[in-house]
Structure 1
Amino acid sequence: MEAVAWRAPIAPIAQTPARGEARDLSATVRCEAAAAPSAQAGGARCLHDHELHLIGAAPARLRIGSGADEETHSFAPGTVVLLGPRLPRSLAFEHRAQPGGCSSSGSGGLVLRFSDEPLKRGMALFPELADAGPLLARARLGVQFVGLEAGTLARLRRIETLQGLARFSEFTALLHELAQWGDYRVLSGVALAGEGLGEDTQALRIHKALDHIRENYAEALSLAEVGALVGMRENAFSRSFRRATGQTFTDFVIGLRVAKACRLLASTRQHVSSICYEVGFNNISNFNRHFRRIEGMTPGEFRARRSPSAG
């Protein structure tokens, strides 16, 4: 099969609108199939909409950034990626052509496009929408969601079949699920130049730090080293981290290690001391103390309660 490049169009292609299409173009959330390639050419392109991509039946590749800062990412079918406004992306996704043209709606790619400003105005009117604020801040660097549940993917596809208030209601429910999903990775390590993001810039750096902590929780981690990794002084990083997570750096790392230990205790028969060192604690007494403080019981008691034979 021949590889073809698909590039996100800047504006709708001029043609006779199908029934309901004009309404869709003026809607807050617009849906497009991502299977058909675009005839547009060009290098890095900065769009003014958010784009939520569901990769179709074929693998895809994204080039994000430009020049020396360009990064390339490969995505498996079923991957969901959120790209924020004004994020430079060159050639966007590349799909392999499917036999017979576009894929069916069950396996083809899908793109939801939504503008930044309507959501910001909505947050001022409806405080509940502000829960999506951190998610949209992360989108400025691109976000790949890892291991989304089937129900969330089904909701994303269902949006394509809806119109009007029903579509917007389903979209806000999807935003909530994505905002609460903790397993993700930020795609670009470079903040946008000249954007003047202010507090958003700090938020992006904190999310980058969180990615690093999640990937290296079992290693020795220090506040100063992680702060330096994201380009922040120790005191500023400490304040920003606590404001973003509600926890100190140390408490967050310990809580993450205990959470990982809980999964191993519930799903394996590894010895408690083995789990202790695997998740990053340097001695068993320290592990037991923090585990009891957070879970209210010892690791052994936790395992006993989670055992299928526990009654």
Structure 2
Amino acid sequence: MLNTIPPASASRTHAAAARSYTNARPRPLDARRGTASEPAVPAPEEVRVTIHCETSPAASVRGNETNCLHEHELHLIGAAPARLRVGSGIDEETHRFAPGTVVLLGPRLPHSLVFEHRPLHGAGNAGSLVLRFGDEPLRRGMELFPELRDAAPLLARARQGVQFVGLNEGIVSRLRRIEMLQGLARFAEFTVLLNELSQWSEYRLLADAAFTDDSLGEHMAATRIHKALDHIRDNYVDELSLAEVGAIVGMRENAFSRSFRRATGQTFTDFVIGLRVARACRLLASTRQQVSSICYEVGFNNISNFNRHFRRIKGMTPGEFRAECQRPGVPAPSVS
């Protein structure tokens, strides 16, 4: 038997239902079951949006306090110049930015990363903005929307910090417009900005790759040094420079020099010269080649330079070393 509702009661019921529907919040989908779950009132810190836009603080962390980013930050430096410290201890580097500079900082940059804004003629930090967006949501988005993958190289560079050089006013204005927008309009403008920054070819990296991830920094540095050692051993007879080998393994010259010395106990130059002298010793002991011929074969560019380094390392001249190797009944000197 069907239950019926009198007309007057029906009107009141429909009105109540309408009020209830109007005031209700949409029920979020439970990702595990694909069904609507009971809504919970989120705490303010639990509210999630893809893009946060806010005015940069007038002054940032100073002294020995640390600041490790877990999301991307796109900074527009306002009326006051800014100073950025990357790294810690002997690896710390300082960068200064003029007003109007745009800087992108990726997640998990070194803990000593800070901005220090200095007031300029009382202007404070007027006009400065910071746009924050999570890395993981973009990575997941790339799986759903392949077009977003065009930004992947930019996000990879951001882990070292990127200063954009000579940005046009249109891109800067777009960054400012994002502050005024909300919801889908903000996200749409953000994707256009991300595309423009991804295609901008004039930029400067701010931190060395070996120091851009706290959890992997030492491992990454060790991997790069091993790669450098392999390259040096394969090419020690050629002209090698610290900057060239550092670039091959993705490290800037100063950082590569420090990491190389920590790993080997030698400077880059001493290590290369040691390889050349060791090879010369083997040729002196096992062949009848002239000393001058061996000098050039192992990578030295003149005989006096070869003799000087050989004597410093082995305590004797190349000729004396060969004579010692050929003396009967006398243990040959070490060739390593």
TM-score category (smaller protein): 0.5 to 0.7
State the alpha-carbon separation in 2 of the partners of residues 35 and 134 from structure 1. 29
Deviation >6 Å, runs of 4+: 222-226
1:259-284 alpha-carbon deviations (Å, 9 max, x no partner): xxxxxxxxxxxxxxxxxxxxxxxxxx
- Counterpart secondary structure, 1:228: helix
The match for 1:270 is: none
State the alpha-carbon separation in 1 of the partners of residues 60 and 206 from structure 2. 24
1:75 and 2:97 are equivalent in the alignment:
yes
- Counterpart secondary structure, 1:141: coil
Q: Which structure has the larger Rg?
A: 2
Contact 2:85 2:95 in 1 (8 A): yes
The match for 1:151 is: 170
1:181 and 2:203 are equivalent in the alignment:
no
Given the superposition, is the C-alpha separation of residues 91 and 140 from structure 1 closer, same or farther in structure 2, using an over 3 Å criterion? Answer: closer
State the alpha-carbon separation in 1 of the partners of residues 80 and 112 from structure 2. 19
State the alpha-carbon separation in 1 of the partners of residues 195 and 113 from structure 2. 30
State the alpha-carbon separation in 1 of the partners of residues 213 and 79 from structure 2. 35
- Counterpart secondary structure, 1:170: helix
Q: Cα offset for 1:24?
A: 11
Task: Identify the match of residue 79 of structure 2 among 53, 57, 82.
Answer: 57
State the alpha-carbon separation in 2 of the partners of residues 50 and 180 from structure 1. 18
Superposed, 1:127-142 pairs within 5 Å as: 127-142=146-161
Superposed, 1:202-241 pairs within 5 Å as: 228-232=245-249
Given the superposition, is the C-alpha separation of residues 142 and 163 from structure 1 closer, same or farther in structure 2, using an over 3 Å criterion? Answer: same
Q: Cα offset for 1:25?
A: 5.7
Bigger Cα displacement from structure 2, 188-197 vs 145-154:
188-197
**RMSD (Å) for aligned C-alpha atoms:** 3.2
Count of residue correspondences: 188
Contact 2:58 2:125 in 1 (8 A): no
Task: Identify the match of residue 54 of structure 2 among 32, 36, 54.
Answer: 32
State the alpha-carbon separation in 1 of the partners of residues 60 and 115 from structure 2. 11
5+ long unaligned stretches in structure 2: 1-43, 225-238, 251-336
1:45 and 2:67 are equivalent in the alignment:
yes
Q: Cα offset for 1:96?
A: 2.0
Q: Cα offset for 1:43?
A: 2.8
Q: Cα offset for 1:152?
A: 0.1
5+ long unaligned stretches in structure 1: 1-21, 206-221, 234-311
Given the superposition, is the C-alpha separation of residues 155 and 167 from structure 1 closer, same or farther in structure 2, using an over 3 Å criterion? Answer: same
Given the superposition, is the C-alpha separation of residues 140 and 91 from structure 1 closer, same or farther in structure 2, using an over 3 Å criterion? Answer: closer
Given the superposition, is the C-alpha separation of residues 176 and 61 from structure 1 closer, same or farther in structure 2, using an over 3 Å criterion? Answer: same
Contact 1:69 1:190 in 2 (8 A): no
- Counterpart secondary structure, 1:74: strand
- TM-score, length-scaled by structure 2: 0.50
Given the superposition, is the C-alpha separation of residues 56 and 66 from structure 1 closer, same or farther in structure 2, using an over 3 Å criterion? Answer: same
Task: Identify the match of residue 128 of structure 2 among 98, 106, 109.
Answer: 109
- Counterpart secondary structure, 1:62: strand
Say which structure, 1 or 2, has more relative contact order (CA 8 Å, 6+ apart). Answer: 1
